[in-house]
Every structure is written in C-alpha cells, then in structure tokens.
C-alpha cells in the first residue's frame, strides 16, 4: 500500500531503505541461504572439504529415530506450555475483568514476569527445585516424594515446563485482559438482565468473543515454546538427563556448535524455518479473515 499523495521518484527512497536492506541481506538472507546450501553438504568437522549430497541430510534426519523423538518431545513440551499458560492466564484475566475494584493493581502485579529473561527464570526455578538445597524439593521430600530432575527425565521436563509457563502467563494475561475489556459492556449487562450468571456469561459471551485473541496467542505461544525457551533448557537441564529435555532448537545448537555436524544442524535449521514460516502464514491468513468479525 502507498499513500495517495506521495513524493516523486528520486534517489532518496533508495538511500532510506538502504540501511535496513543491507543489514537484512548481510545478517538474514545470506545466512539463511547459507543454511539451505550447507544443509545439502557433507562436511568433515574441520571444514576442510565438503561434498554436495543434496537431500541426504534430510533423508538421514527423517529416518533418524532420535530426531523423531526430539520432534515429538518438542510438540509435547510446546503443547503443555501453551495449554497451561493459556488456561491459567485465561482464568486470571476473566477474574481480573470481573472484579469491580483492583483490576489495574492485579494487572501490575501479574505482568512483570514478561520482563524476566528465560535463562534468568530457568536459574531461579532450578534453585527452587535444587535436589539437595531447593526449598520445594525439601517440602516434597517432607511429604515423601523424591525430587531429582538431574536423574529423572520426567521431572526435568516438568521443571522446564513450569519455568516456561511461569514466564509466559503474563504475556497471555495481558492480551486476554485487553480482549475482554474491548467487549461492549452492554452485551454483558443484557445477559445479566436475562439472568445469566458470571460463569454462563463467560462461556456463552466472553469466551466466543475473544476467540481471535485466543487463536493469536496459541500461535505465539507455540513459537515461544519452540524457540525462546532455549535459555531455560540451556540453563536448567542442558537437554538432559539422557536427552529427556532436548527440544529442537537446543538440538540445532548442540549438533552444530558442540557436535560439529554442520550439515545435519543446517538441515535442522531449515526445517525449523519452514515450521516458523508455516505458523506465520497461518497467522496472517487468519488476521485477514478476522476483518469480517
């Protein structure tokens, strides 16, 4: 889209877009195309020689049981994080929207974990659940439950889900609350006059009306759980024990920088890019349709 009135063509617009285009090409388009190219190479770890093998890296990945289980694990992890943080945030937003006084105070007290870096969140939760020192593991021990996320894979998964969910609640809460406050009060009042109680009003009016927000948040939460949780995994479990918490983005990093399997890591990068592009397209198609509401 362009303005109806605009400036005559000159050299100026090229100069204006130049900084962004240069940075985008140098640090985005070029590296991304390198990733695609590298994903078709077989390289020795020292980078001395390489051989073009086309899609063999992908074929290897798709026939690799470890990759498949990592993929599955990532899906489980993302769904858990998205489901938990969305439902907790929805409950908090609905109650904050319902109370007569204090909505702003509650909002202030609930939104700030957004500002905490994932790795910082991970460090704190790791401390709270430290097998020997942690305050929660101490209480769990007291009631006869042994907590050791360094040995128990399921507990390690539970811990990173917890840390990732904790951090994401504030983001979801904010969007849900904004969505609910945009609903005209007359609708809610009309339903109240017809005798619908708070729970009924929520399920029959508020929840359907905020469904665009819910959908948007679902996509954003999956993207968050796929990529931004790297810091949490790296700080808390390093993918262990025995790869029980290795998610896709961590495996790209681990195979590329630690394992030096450049081709395999690049192929994984490309797959991740395709996943993000798909999610973006879904998001945009949906936003276009939303205009009809």
Partner 1 sequence: MIEQRPVAAWFSHTVLILGVVVVAFPIWITFVGASHDAIRMTQVPLPLLPGDQFFINLKAAFVDGVGNAKEQSVGIMMFNSLIMALMIAVGKIAISLLSAFAIVYFRFPFRMMFFWMIFITLMLPVEVRILPTFEVVANFGMLNNYWGLTVPLIASATATFMFRQVFLTVPDELLEAARIDGAGPMRFFKDILLPVSRTNIAALFVILFIYGWNQYLWPLLITTDKSMYTIVMGIKQMLEAAEEAPEWHLIMMTTLLAMIPPVLVVIGMQKLFIKGLTETEK
**In this chain, which of 35, 156, 206, 244 binds partner 1, going by CB under 8 A?**
35
Q: For partner 1, how many residues bind (rule: CB under 8 A)? A: 102
**In this chain, which of 41, 92, 156, 161 binds partner 1, going by CB under 8 A?**
92
108 lies in the site for partner 1, by CB under 8 A:
yes
69 lies in the site for partner 1, by CB under 8 A:
no
286 lies in the site for partner 1, by CB under 8 A:
no
| Enclosing H/E stretch for 208 | helix 207-209
Give the number of other Cβ atoms within 10 Å of residue 168's Cβ. Answer: 28
30 lies in the site for partner 1, by CB under 8 A:
yes
Yes or no: say if 176 and 266 are a contact pair by the CB < 8 Å rule.
no
Strand partners, 52: 41
Distances 31 to 8, 25, 39 between C-alpha atoms, Å: 35, 8, 12
192 lies in the site for partner 1, by CB under 8 A:
yes
Q: Which stretch binds partner 1 (CB under 8 A): 59-67, 70-78, 79-87, 251-259?
A: 251-259
Cβ at position 154, least distance to partner 1 in Å: 21
Please state, in angstroms and rounded to a whole number, the distance separating the CA atoms of residues 222 and 79. Answer: 7
3 state SS of 50: strand
Please state, in angstroms and rounded to a whole number, the distance separating the CA atoms of residues 230 and 239. Answer: 10
205 lies in the site for partner 1, by CB under 8 A:
no
Cβ at position 109, least distance to partner 1 in Å: 5
Cβ at position 117, least distance to partner 1 in Å: 4
Judge if the upstream peptide bond of residue 241 is cis by omega within 30 degrees of 0. Answer: yes
**In this chain, which of 76, 133, 242, 282 binds partner 1, going by CB under 8 A?**
133
Please state, in angstroms and rounded to a whole number, the distance separating the CA atoms of residues 34 and 266. Answer: 9
180 phi, psi to nearest 5 deg: -70, -35
46 lies in the site for partner 1, by CB under 8 A:
no
- Residues between 71 and 90 with contacts to partner 1, criterion CB under 8 A: 88
- Residues between 230 and 249 with contacts to partner 1, criterion CB under 8 A: 230-231, 234-235, 249
| Enclosing H/E stretch for 43 | strand 41-43
Please state, in angstroms and rounded to a whole number, the distance separating the CA atoms of residues 112 and 72. Answer: 32
Cβ at position 1, least distance to partner 1 in Å: 6
Distances 248 to 74, 163, 283 between C-alpha atoms, Å: 6, 18, 22
109 lies in the site for partner 1, by CB under 8 A:
yes
- Buried residues in 74-93 as b, exposed as e (16+ CB within 10 A): beebbebbbebbbebbbebb
Cβ at position 38, least distance to partner 1 in Å: 7
45 lies in the site for partner 1, by CB under 8 A:
no
Q: Which is nearer to partner 1, 17 or 66 (CB)?
A: 17
Q: Which is nearer to partner 1, 55 or 127 (CB)?
A: 127
Q: Which stretch binds partner 1 (CB under 8 A): 64-72, 79-87, 119-127, 146-154?
A: 119-127
**In this chain, which of 99, 187, 258, 282 binds partner 1, going by CB under 8 A?**
99
Tell me, residue by residue from 262 to 281, as one string, x for binding to partner 1 by CB under 8 A and - for no binding: x--xx--x--xx--xx-xx-
Return the DSSP state at 181: H
């Amino acid at each position: 889209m362009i303005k109806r009135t605009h400036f005559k063509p000159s050299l100026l617009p090229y100069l204006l877009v130049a900084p962004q285009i240069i940075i985008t090409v140098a640090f985005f388009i070029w590296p991304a195309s390198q990733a695609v190219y590298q994903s078709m190479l077989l390289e020795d770890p020292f980078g001395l020689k390489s051989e073009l093998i086309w899609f063999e890296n992908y074929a290897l990945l798709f026939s690799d049981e470890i990759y498949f289980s990592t993929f599955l694990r990532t899906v489980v992890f993302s769904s858990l994080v998205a489901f938990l943080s969305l439902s907790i945030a929805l409950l908090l937003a609905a109650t904050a929207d319902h109370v007569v006084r204090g909505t702003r105070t509650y909002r202030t007290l609930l939104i700030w974990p957004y500002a905490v870096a994932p790795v910082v969140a991970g460090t704190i939760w790791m401390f709270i659940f430290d097998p020997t020192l942690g305050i929660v593991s101490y209480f769990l021990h007291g009631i006869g439950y042994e907590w050791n996320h360094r040995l128990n894979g399921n507990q390690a998964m539970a811990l990173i889900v917890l840390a990732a969910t904790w951090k994401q609640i504030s983001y979801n809460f904010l969007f849900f609350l904004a969505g609910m406050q945009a609903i005209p009060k007359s609708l809610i009042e009309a339903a109240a006059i017809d005798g619908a109680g708070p729970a009924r009003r929520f399920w029959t009016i508020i929840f359907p009306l905020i469904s665009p927000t819910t959908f948007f948040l679902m996509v954003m939460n999956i993207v968050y759980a796929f990529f931004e949780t790297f810091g949490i995994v790296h700080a808390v479990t390093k993918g262990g024990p025995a790869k029980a918490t290795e998610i896709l983005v961590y495996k790209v990093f681990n195979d590329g920088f630690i394992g030096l399997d450049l081709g395999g890591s690049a192929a994984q990068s490309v797959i991740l890019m395709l996943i993000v592009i798909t999610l973006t397209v879904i998001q945009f198609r949906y936003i276009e349709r939303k205009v009809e509401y």
